[in-house]
């Protein structure tokens, strides 16, 4: 593959995570450390993804991050420091003006490298842009860099950002279970966890089982139909064993007829991609248990803390997130294009991985769900194999810089 000399642009898209800035830091480090052998003179950042790119809202990251300590702090900054967007590119042939405009901007800034850090919808953008530029005589290398707390991208063993969300959940579950254990009265605590279609995050609530045996009594993932009577029976059985029952439920659990358990309490709002906006699964179950069993019940919705709690990020997740960004720069300079970077697991005990990449068309708009082997027969917990898969992803603690008691975050103006 011939050497391609030109500037690079990087963007962040989709929901924020605690590690998406670590991947941005990886791209910045890759360019800064010249892993591309001099083929990338300058790195631009697009504010708010392709939305900002179309408005030429670009920032010179080579200049902004001239001081390396700022890159260290960026790795510990939650959410998307470049800003994000939920804009989906049109189907090719529908509105090619958008693509023409993008090509014009690439040419104007001599941009030959395009790195897009995001989840499913962002990989759709990468795939479409790849397909478009393929047919034009302006050579570009377009690489998707995964991130999503949902861990629902195919081909990669797991996604950057997932490990930190999983660690937040596993740590928080330990703390919640301690909190719930202080009284002797029978009580049920229902913890609602993010995950519309894939139960990876909810499964992470179980990780403690592999460490100290302490985990929620019951775990419900969207991969299985939810049955209210079976749920009541399981809660009753758990209450027989000890007074403080803790249940982890995914926001996306559905009844056999396809309706969401939390659907009644949501407003019917649909996001830009047509996804139903869910909230209230835990609350719905709280009311149901109160009515049916009559004991003390409480629901806790962990909400956006799951994706932004950078102070308790997973060290291995941040390491991999940086690595995947750096590898994207190196790979692209060596000819990788129309691909998404991947994390390939080499072994689980001891944990080892390498960074790879795979055809973007295999990835976009697909969902990797929790496999059958990871869910127990009753559908009310995960298996030991699942815990074994998850455990290495939360390894290690981070040491973000603090000033006067608060973590230092980087804001890119």
Q: How far apart are CA 297 and CA 190, in angstroms?
A: 8
Q: Where are the alpha helices (DSSP H) in 159-280?
A: 162-180, 200-204, 228-241
The H or E element that residue 291 is part of is helix 281-292
Question: Count of residues binding its own copies (CB under 8 A)?
Answer: 79
Tokens 């803790």: give the residue. 246
Rg (CA), the chain: 22
351 binds its own copies (CB under 8 A): no
Q: Is 160 near its own copies (CB under 8 A)?
A: no
Q: Does 259 bind its own copies (CB under 8 A)?
A: yes
Q: How far apart are the first and last CA of the chain?
A: 37
Q: Which of 4, 6, 7, 16 binds its own copies (CB under 8 A)?
A: 16
Enumerate the active-site residues: 150
Site for its own copies, residues 22 to 61, rule: CB under 8 A: 48, 51
For residue 110, CA distances in Å to 4, 225, 343 come to: 11, 51, 30
Is 77 near its own copies (CB under 8 A)?
yes
CA separation for the pair 30, 33 (Å, rounded): 5
Query: β-pairing, 187-193 with 296-301?
Result: parallel
Region of 79-87, 124-132, 195-203, 333-341 interacting with its own copies (CB under 8 A) = 79-87
Site for its own copies in 305-334 (CB under 8 A): 305, 307-312, 314
98 part of the interface to its own copies, by CB under 8 A: no
Residue closest to 79 by CA, chosen among 21, 2, 145, 144: 21
Instruction: Pick the stretch among 111-119, 124-132, 370-378, 397-405 that binds its own copies (CB under 8 A).
Output: 397-405
Exactly one of 63, 93, 212, 229 binds its own copies (CB under 8 A); that residue is: 212
Residue ranges of alpha helices (H) inside 16-76 are 20-32, 49-54, 61-64, 68-75
Nearest alpha carbon to residue 145 among 137, 136, 134, 156:
156
Options 26-34, 98-106, 129-137, 260-268: segment touching its own copies (CB under 8 A): 260-268
Q: Is 67 in the site for its own copies (CB under 8 A)?
A: no
Residues 178-207 that bind its own copies (CB under 8 A): 178-179, 181-184, 207
Site for its own copies in 263-292 (CB under 8 A): 263-265, 267, 269-273, 275, 277, 280, 283-284, 287-288, 290-291
Structure token digits, residue 405: 């008691």
Q: Which residue lies nearer to its own copies by CB, 34 or 348?
A: 348
Q: Does 101 bind its own copies (CB under 8 A)?
A: no
Shorter beta-carbon distance to its own copies: residue 167 or 357: 167
Q: Which residues pair with 250 in a beta bridge?
A: 193
CB of 125 to its own copies, least distance (A): 16
Is residue 347 a contact residue for its own copies (CB under 8 A)? no
């Amino acid at each position: 593959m011939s050497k391609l000399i030109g500037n690079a642009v990087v963007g962040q898209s989709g929901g924020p995570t605690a590690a998406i800035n670590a991947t941005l830091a990886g791209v910045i480090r890759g360019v800064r450390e010249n892993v591309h052998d001099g083929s990338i003179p300058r790195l631009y950042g697009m504010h708010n993804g392709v939305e900002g790119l179309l408005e030429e809202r670009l920032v010179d990251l080579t200049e902004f991050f001239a001081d390396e300590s700022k890159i260290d702090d960026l790795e510990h900054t939650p959410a998307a420091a470049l800003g994000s967007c939920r804009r989906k590119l049109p189907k090719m042939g529908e509105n090619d003006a958008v693509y023409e405009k993008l090509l014009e901007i690439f040419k104007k800034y001599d941009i030959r490298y395009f790195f897009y850090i995001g989840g499913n919808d962002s990989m759709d953008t990468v795939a479409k842009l790849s397909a478009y530029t393929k047919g034009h005589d302006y050579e570009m290398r377009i690489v998707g860099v995964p991130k999503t707390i949902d861990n629902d991208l195919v081909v990669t063993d797991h996604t950057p950002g997932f490990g930190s969300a999983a660690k937040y959940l596993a740590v928080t579950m330990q703390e919640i279970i301690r909190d719930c254990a202080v009284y002797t009265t029978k009580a049920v605590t229902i913890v609602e966890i993010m995950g519309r279609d894939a139960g990876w995050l909810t499964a992470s609530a179980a990780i403690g089982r592999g460490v100290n045996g302490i985990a929620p009594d019951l775990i419900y993932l969207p991969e299985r139909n939810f049955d209210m009577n079976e749920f009541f029976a399981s809660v009753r059985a758990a209450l027989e064993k000890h007074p403080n029952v803790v249940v982890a439920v995914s926001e996306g659990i559905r009844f056999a007829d396809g309706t969401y358990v939390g659907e009644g309490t949501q407003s019917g709002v649909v996001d830009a991609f047509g996804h139903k906006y869910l909230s209230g699964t835990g609350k719905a179950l709280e009311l149901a248990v109160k009515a049916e069993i009559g004991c003390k019940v409480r629901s806790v919705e962990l909400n956006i803390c799951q994706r932004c709690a950078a102070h308790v990020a997973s060290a291995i997740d941040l390491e991999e997130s940086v690595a995947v960004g750096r590898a994207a720069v190196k790979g692209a300079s060596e000819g990788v294009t129309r691909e998404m970077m991947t994390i390939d697991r080499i072994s689980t005990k001891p944990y080892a991985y390498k960074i790879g990449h795979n055809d973007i068309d295999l990835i976009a708009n697909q969902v990797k769900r929790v496999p059958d082997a990871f869910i127990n027969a009753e559908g009310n917990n995960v298996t030991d194999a699942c815990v074994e898969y998850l455990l290495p992803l939360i390894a290690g603690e981070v040491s973000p810089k603090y000033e006067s008691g608060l973590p230092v975050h980087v804001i890119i103006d």
